[in-house]
Amino acid sequence: MPINKQFLKSRPEVKVTFEVEKAAAEGAEQVLLLGEFNQWQPIELKRMKSGEFKATLNLPTDGPSHFEYCYQLVHSDGESRYDNDWAADAYVPGPFGRDNSVVRVSA
């Protein structure tokens, strides 16, 4: 589950591409990204032909130095589970007894 970052010179933002690889999705029909950067409201990742899921967001660099996030994997039978990013910058304990992934937005 790699994350790619591109720091923008024209604005105080970093363009972050969140990606869940096919193997990590474990047959999920839908993958949602939840994070502090948008008050934990789900953002649906686009399913690619290769079976991976992706979304690109511009996150501010003039605020907190990092944001917590996680993925929700939704299967066709309606079952869902939360998972962390295998390539996160760090992990922190979350409020529901599991860790959350961290993306650092400061250069």
Q: How many domains does the chain have?
A: 1
What token pair was written down for 24?
A: 């990590």
pLDDT in the model for residue 106? 86
CA dist 106 and 58 (Å) reads 13
Whether the model clears a pTM of 0.85, i.e. scores above it, the answer is yes
Q: Are 94 and 58 in contact (CB under 8 A)?
A: no
pLDDT in the model for residue 20? 94
The CATH number of whichever domain residue 48 belongs to comes to 2.60.40.10
pLDDT in the model for residue 86? 85
What domain range includes position 17? 3-104
pLDDT by position in tens, the chain (length 107): 578 999 999 999 999 999 999 999 989 999 999 999 999 999 999 999 999 999 999 999 999 999 999 999 999 998 999 999 988 999 999 888 889 999 999 86
pLDDT in the model for residue 94? 84
Classified as helix, coil or strand, 93 is strand
